[in-house]
Structure formats: C-alpha cells, structure tokens
Amino acid sequence: MSGRASHRVSLQSPRIANSWLLSDGQGHTFLVDTGHRVERRSLAYSLRRAGIRRGGLTAVLLTHRHSDHAGNAAWLRDELRCPVICHADDAVTLGGREPAPRLARRGANAAYDALCRVEDRFPARSPVDEVYDEGSWRWGFEVIPVAGHTRGSTLLLHEPSGTLFTGDALLSGVPVQRLVSRLSLAIPGFSENVEACHRATRAFLREQRPVQTLCAGHGPRVTRKLPELFAALC
C-alpha cells in the first residue's frame, strides 16, 4: 500500500500485466487496467480479498485497449456493475466499431512478434460507458493522451495522491516480469507509432509534475528517485 494517508494503491494479482486498485479516501475505488482474460480467476480472487463486491468499483479506467490491460473490462462491467472508461480513440476499437490495427510484422523480434500475432487475433472487446476528457477530468484525475502505443493510450495522474498510471507508455519492468526496476518508454514492437508515444510521454515528463508513485502497466511500483528517473528518459 502507498500514497498519502487517505489514499491506498494496491497491485492486484494478474501477472501478465498490472492491474491497480486505487481507493481515494473519498468513497471512490478505481481499478486501473484489468489484466488479460486468461487471468480472470486470479483477478476475481484478488478483488474479493480486497473486499470489492458488486457495486464496489466506481469505475474501471483503462490506460489503453490492449488485451493484457482491457481483457477483463467487459466481464468486470457485468459482474461488478461498474462503468468502463477509456480514451475515445481506443473506445471505437474496444467496442468493435473499428478493427484493431495489426501489430505483428515480418522481421520483428520473434518472441514479441508471436505475442503481437495473439493480440491481432484476439483483441479485447468491451462496451465503453464514457470516454476521457483531456486535462483535468473527474475524481482528481488528470488525463494526458500519449497516442502511439495505441491511438488512445493515456497517462492518468491522480493528483490528490500524486499517483501516475502509465500503462505501456512508461514501463518499470519488462512485460510479464515485475521484478526489474528500470524505467523505459513504450516498446517499439508493441506500439503502433512508437515515436509519437515517446514524444508525448517525454513532453509530460519534462513538465516535472509532482509524482509520488509510479504505477506502470508492467513492472513494480516505483516511489524513489522519480525526478531523476524521469529526467534520464527526456
């Protein structure tokens, strides 16, 4: 657990990608990203242990539409009766109104390419109840679009607690592992336009906003030396 006194952020149990539960101390509880569908039982167990029952989530907030982040969004929406919220540019793909751009490409890293083929074949689908407004939004969140990992990839800064959720735009570990603590920008092999994502992420980091806790899409929570780590990426 971390954050200022009244806020709590905890990591839920899916292992492929991170799923973060944020309680804001004001009666709101958010799940930022939902893990891959193959880890649904693990997520369900983890949420039950955290005391989350039907009606207990204020919203599911998605950093982007990839299946290891949005894979349980539709299921949670049904099970817990909570809204699913994401960026408009990913909502059209999640909702099935536009096909997902293909990620797999000839000549890419073979392991990553295999994962991309799975993503291309089985993209996440979910109804989306609301889309983000850019900038200061609701419940203390600031929404910072960083298009390029996906078209709708987004940073979410929970200003009251100084918690930054970054999805795959900024990673604190190599996907699947949580142990390596090294910050890196979006990975080219998994991104639609990685240069654009890097540019937008760096522009945000250069603003030197007060971030107390980094909760990335992959890798461990990071709370130490964040200004130095951010500066090294810019």
Binding site for Zn ion (CB under 5 A): 66, 168
Q: By C-beta, is 141 or 190 nearer to Zn ion?
A: 190
CB of 65 to Zn ion, least distance (A): 8
Residue with Cβ nearer Zn ion (52 or 91): 91
Judged by beta carbon, residue 39 or residue 168, the one nearer Zn ion is 168
CA 133 to chain centre: 17
Q: How far is CA 19 from CA 68, 102, 167, 190, in A?
A: 10, 24, 9, 19
Is the Cβ of residue 66 or residue 87 nearer to Zn ion in the bound state?
A: 66
- Dist. CA 166–CA 187, nearest whole Å: 13
Q: φ and ψ at 163, to 5 degrees? A: -100, 125
Query: Any long-range contacts for 17-21 (C-beta under 8 Å, 24+ apart)?
Result: 17/66, 17/68, 17/69, 17/175, 17/217, 17/218, 18/178, 18/215, 18/216, 18/217, 18/218, 18/219, 19/43, 19/46, 20/165, 20/215, 21/47, 21/50, 21/52
Q: How far is the CB of 79 from Zn ion (least distance, A)?
A: 23
Q: Minimum distance between the CB of residue 99 and Zn ion, rounded to whole angstroms?
A: 17
The tokens for 8 are 């709590």
**Residue 189 DSSP one-character state:** G
User: Minimum distance from CB of 105 to Zn ion (Å)?
Assistant: 16
- Shortest Cβ 149–Zn ion spacing (Å): 6
- Cβ pair 87, 128 in contact under 8 A: no
Distance in Å, CB of 98 to Zn ion, minimum: 17
Nearest in space to 82 (alpha carbons), one of 11, 21, 155: 21
